[in-house]
A and B are shown apart, each in its own frame.
Chain A
């Protein structure tokens, strides 16, 4: 009897969940579907009344060709990937040890220092970009990926320190002690024991850092001069319709291209999160 009731309850739950998933999917997907629709339209179709989600013809594929070959959107995609990769590596290298120290060690001024670090997070990059220009000019870091990567690391580090510390705090200190008794140094403990357990958190961190660096557009615009080095966010913006030119369809096509690698990344990383889960929870 109990089994049947359980099964019944389960299928009711499943139906509710499915409905919820559909609503959620619609809410999040609709703007993107609309962008996709815009990317396949020609200029007259952009302004149709009433609006329709399906383009009339599929000549809009030409928009993608234009954006890739004439506008060179893929070059800027590569730039963004390169910058993001090094920002992630640099940021994690710098913040994981710091998060460990704040989580595991009790020392004087610990909470004050943490708060000061948080204060850096409260300063918007857009404001520091003006003095940053002069400063980087004197450091000869203008118009270079290195300059951009360093400032991105500096911008995302405060957030990540607090964030990763939060995850580390969920792991009981007994685990550390066990591994030190086993003969590991603190560093080894961090790398071999703790990080794998909080790997979902580290992964989320990777995603957060990537998104942050992907979205910046004021900072790279001010610091970089050469069109070949511009990341994709800036190049996307340039496809906005200007006073004298209608380019919404190109902007839509470029946006879809820009989302493509990140969606790919998400899809693959998810499987990693899941497999990391089962490994991590067994240890707990």
Chain B
């Protein structure tokens, strides 16, 4: 009996060894795609023959010479093992080029996760315990929590001739809260209103027009209007423009919540009632409250039965992957998000920043140099953002680099970026966001009226705010 057990274990381990043998040989070539000769040379170098750069390896857990004296820990937004092949190749190539120029430094990436909340929570735990990585990607709406721990990078940016003004104004506010630049924004995004240009001649410009158009569409058997309304941060990003465009403010300048007071209350109720209207009039199905990521809408969009939807600019690429780029550009166009009549134009932008935590002066410079070459300077930002399909937060890139210069969707996004709003950096924001998501869900499923849902959200936010004050 014991023998059978031992045999079983040995068998299982052997099979896994065989598999992992194939796996680990290739892990060193993580970002290799066929036809890229430099990475192929690098791949063979990890196996036996030395190249001119002797011992440099490029893997998801170590970049550089394993014996290098200086090591920099890096928590990237996406690791070298990201399933996004274009990004993986880009990062590997750039990182390799950098360590070749700086052979006495090795970079140690820390495992990332697709679940942004877990990742940011872990970063917080690490920072609080004094174990912060030397350089880290930080989601832009959480950067404010780290201002006390981040190192300024003004001098380094100046040295490299990358002026703060090359960023959009909204990004500058995130990067420089007071008098020092503490974070470098390297991607951003916008929420867009997509519509079927073959079915709709002129896109609606306000809520009433949207409802009318959508009704016409649903009469023809289409789904009028889709948007994500599940419990996820992306829902807030898609919903808040309706509030902001009327002039609404979530928090005041000291970071206290004000969204249920005075005019803000009216604006918020208007927005919630609009959402309720989309459900009541039948132009949006209740299942929008199950869309936790806007990519959840992809299957319906790809089926050709959806007339209009609201979502991130990355959906353009995702839907194109499903139905083909040509068909996507034949069917879909983009317009400013329809707001309440008379309200101003706006959208939401998120994005990611890079922050340096290490207080070692030499490491600070090296780490900054590393990430700037990958993500921030003209070549870096253009390369990374185009590989990913995200938007560069530096205005100048749109005028200088492909594909941003010529691609129409990107140019439209650039326009939207002039009107965009970012989520407030107040520490109470993520509570507000959660509660609004819950309120939306309750309004859509009919559990609460907008007034009741808003009051519940407000009360919960106040309680939390009181707790923070104590």
Q: Tell whether any CB of A sits under 8 Å from a CB of B in the complex.
A: yes
* Alpha-carbon separation in the docked complex, A264 to B14 (Å): 13
A243-B4 in contact (CB<8A): no
* Alpha-carbon separation in the docked complex, A137 to B322 (Å): 46
Distance of A167 from chain B, by nearest CB (Å): 17
* Alpha-carbon separation in the docked complex, A241 to B26 (Å): 23
B302-A44 in contact (CB<8A): yes
| B79 interface hit (Cβ, 8 Å) | yes
| Contact residues on B (Cβ < 8 Å of other chain), bracket | 35 or more
* Alpha-carbon separation in the docked complex, A238 to B12 (Å): 25
A242-B129 in contact (CB<8A): no
* Alpha-carbon separation in the docked complex, A224 to B122 (Å): 10
The segment from B17-25, B98-106, B267-275, B368-376 found at the interface with A is: B17-25
Contact of B27 among A75, A130, A242, A247 (CB under 8 A): A75
A73-B125 in contact (CB<8A): no
B111-A244 in contact (CB<8A): no
* Alpha-carbon separation in the docked complex, A250 to B84 (Å): 11
B114-A68 in contact (CB<8A): no
A72-B114 in contact (CB<8A): no
* Alpha-carbon separation in the docked complex, A212 to B12 (Å): 19
Distance of B181 from chain A, by nearest CB (Å): 26
180-235 of chain A: CB within 8 A of chain B: 199, 218, 221-222, 224-228, 230, 234
Q: Across the A-B interface, how many residue pairs have beta carbons closer than 8 Å?
A: 158
Distance of A49 from chain B, by nearest CB (Å): 5
Contact of A243 among B17, B22, B295, B302 (CB under 8 A): B295
A68-B16 in contact (CB<8A): no
Report B85-115 CB contacts with A as 1/0, cut-off 8 Å.
Answer: 1001000000000000000000011111111
Contact of B24 among A75, A227, A242, A264 (CB under 8 A): A75
Please judge, given known A-B contacts A68-B19, A75-B23, A226-B111, whether A265 and B125 are in contact too, CB under 8 Å: no
| Nearest A residue to B27, CB-CB | A72
B12-A81 in contact (CB<8A): yes
Complex interface: chain A residues within 8 A of B131 (CB): 137, 142
Distance of B141 from chain A, by nearest CB (Å): 14
* Alpha-carbon separation in the docked complex, A268 to B13 (Å): 14
395-440 of chain B: CB within 8 A of chain A: none
B22-A237 in contact (CB<8A): no
Contact of A218 among B27, B79, B118 (CB under 8 A): B118
Contact of B114 among A134, A199, A242, A279 (CB under 8 A): A242
Interface size on A, residues (CB 8 A): 57
Distance of A210 from chain B, by nearest CB (Å): 12
B111-A239 in contact (CB<8A): no
| A246 interface hit (Cβ, 8 Å) | yes
| A269 interface hit (Cβ, 8 Å) | yes
* Alpha-carbon separation in the docked complex, A47 to B64 (Å): 41
B20-A261 in contact (CB<8A): no
B23-A74 in contact (CB<8A): yes
| A240 interface hit (Cβ, 8 Å) | yes
A265-B8 in contact (CB<8A): yes
| Nearest A residue to B60, CB-CB | A227
Complex interface: chain B residues within 8 A of A222 (CB): 122, 125
* Alpha-carbon separation in the docked complex, A241 to B16 (Å): 26
A228-B61 in contact (CB<8A): yes
A133-B129 in contact (CB<8A): yes
Complex interface: chain A residues within 8 A of B128 (CB): 134
Complex interface: chain A residues within 8 A of B84 (CB): 244-245
| A40 interface hit (Cβ, 8 Å) | no
* Alpha-carbon separation in the docked complex, A74 to B12 (Å): 12
| Nearest A residue to B30, CB-CB | A70
Distance of A93 from chain B, by nearest CB (Å): 16
Complex interface: chain A residues within 8 A of B60 (CB): 72, 227-228
| A272 interface hit (Cβ, 8 Å) | yes
| B42 interface hit (Cβ, 8 Å) | no
Complex interface: chain A residues within 8 A of B317 (CB): 244
| A113 interface hit (Cβ, 8 Å) | no
* Alpha-carbon separation in the docked complex, A279 to B2 (Å): 13
Complex interface: chain B residues within 8 A of A221 (CB): 111, 113, 118, 122
Complex interface: chain A residues within 8 A of B109 (CB): 227
B81-A47 in contact (CB<8A): no
Q: A70-B26, A81-B12, A221-B111 provided; 20 other pairs, C-beta below 8 A?
A: A47-B299, A47-B322, A48-B299, A49-B303, A68-B19, A72-B26, A74-B16, A81-B16, A222-B122, A225-B73, A227-B110, A234-B113, A237-B115, A238-B112, A243-B314, A246-B295, A264-B12, A268-B4, A269-B5, A272-B5
Can you show 15 pairs from A to B with CB atoms below 8 A apart? A44-B322, A68-B19, A72-B30, A78-B16, A133-B125, A142-B131, A226-B110, A238-B83, A238-B112, A241-B293, A261-B12, A261-B15, A261-B16, A264-B8, A279-B1
